[in-house]
Structure formats: structure tokens, C-alpha cells
Copies of this chain bind each other. A is one copy, B any other.
Amino acid sequence: MNYTYRHARPAVTADCVVFGLDEEDLKVLLVQRGQEPFQGHWALPGGFAVVGEALEDTARRELAEETGLKDVFLEQLYTFSDPQRDPREHVVTVAYYALVNLSDHPVQAATDARSAAWFCIDDIPKLAFDHDRILQTAYERLRGKITYQPIGFELLPEKFPLRMLQGVYEKILDRPLDKRNFRKKILSMEILEELDEIETDVGHRAARLYRFNKRVYDDKVKQGFIFEL
């Protein structure tokens, strides 16, 4: 089936920069391309827009198809429209970034014969298209965003100790933070619920677990509260 239009149209795609966090590092999810161009190269998961589907849905759908990830935190990043960014033709891509926690979302074999894998943020191979640039833009945005919005929770399991949350900030900002000051600050926002549970299976004193309270957070956002770290 072919589609004909009176004027030439650029193709439209949606791509995702998916950030994940394990005990060690901040990671990015990449897929290996099965076709030309850039066959065999690693690339951001993504795919072509479908008429009648919002691009955020396209991004989510492609992400699920190529990597198995669902229900992730997803925000629009930027739209890249350089006519040369795809060697075949003019392709406009709307890039999104996603945050997932690796414990809930293990690396999954790709469902459509491409392989998917997590790469450490500072050990990324040369990517297909202009995906290096997209990734860099996403990383900068993430660093900028986390300092004034508590999005770090999206990278953690539902219940987590404060040490882990501090680790998120340290890994994204790439600098150490003072434990006491960090706790003071994050607790003063009053968006964490202190649970009556502690960690298990740790080889030392177990820490108390906390949970992000999205209801309270949304209320505070509405009242104009600023969450600067």
C-alpha cells in the first residue's frame, strides 16, 4: 500500500534515551541495528511514527517492542531535524528520555531479533545516525533536571534506603554529596514516606526504607513549591 501527498514530507520517528541505574553506574539502553543503514551498529531504541498515534505513544510502543520495557517514566527531550541526520532521506526525530529501575526491569531479549543491552554511560560505543548527540543532550538534560525536580525516584525500586537515593544523585551529578546535608535537604521536602521496614540481606546495619509519595509531591507542585537540591 502506498500513500501519496501533494508535497514532499520528511519521515518522522521517535527515539528513546533510556537511563537505568545499578549499584555501580548510570547506564543507557541501546539496541543493535539489524538493517542498513548502520547495520550492526548500536543505536537508541525507536522507530517510525504511525499516523493517528501521538509520538509519545510511538516511543513507548517501540521501546516495548525492541526492549520489553513498559510503563516507564518518559519525557520529551528535543526534536532533531537536521536534513542530513539520516543518510537515506530527511528524517525528523522526536527524542524522549526515560528513567527505569534495573531491578524491576531486567535486560530483556529483544522481541524482534535485535539485541538490546545496557551500556555504562561513560563507555558508549559510536552510535548510529546522530544518536551520540541525542544521548549527550539527554544526559545534560537529566543532570539539569534532577537538581530542581525529584525525578531520581524513577530509577529506584518502590522502597529504598536514603543511601540509595543519594547514590542516584551522586551518579547523575558525578560528584560526591555530603550525607547529612543530603538527608536534611531531601527530608525537608516532605515527599518521602518513612516506612516501618528496613533493608534485608545486607552485610551490615540495615537502613530504614522510604517511599516516594507522589500524591503529596503533586500537591506541592500545584502550590508552586520548588524542589531544588
Contacts and interface: CB of A to CB of B under 8 A. Distances in A.
Given A52-B83, A82-B54, A90-B51, A4 B7 contact: no
Contact of A12 (B2, B9, B53): B9
Chain A interface SS verdict (over half): loop
Q: How large is the interface on A (under 10, 10 to 19, 20 to 34, 35 or more residues)?
A: 20 to 34
Interface stretch (A73-81, A99-107, A116-124, A127-135): A73-81
A17 to B, nearest CB: 15
Given A12-B10, A92-B12, A79 B55 contact: yes
Copies of this chain in the oligomer? 2
Contacts of A113: none
Nearest to A81: B55
Interface of A: 1-12, 48-56, 76, 78-79, 81-83, 89-90, 92, 94
Given A49-B92, A53-B83, A54-B82, A9 B3 contact: yes
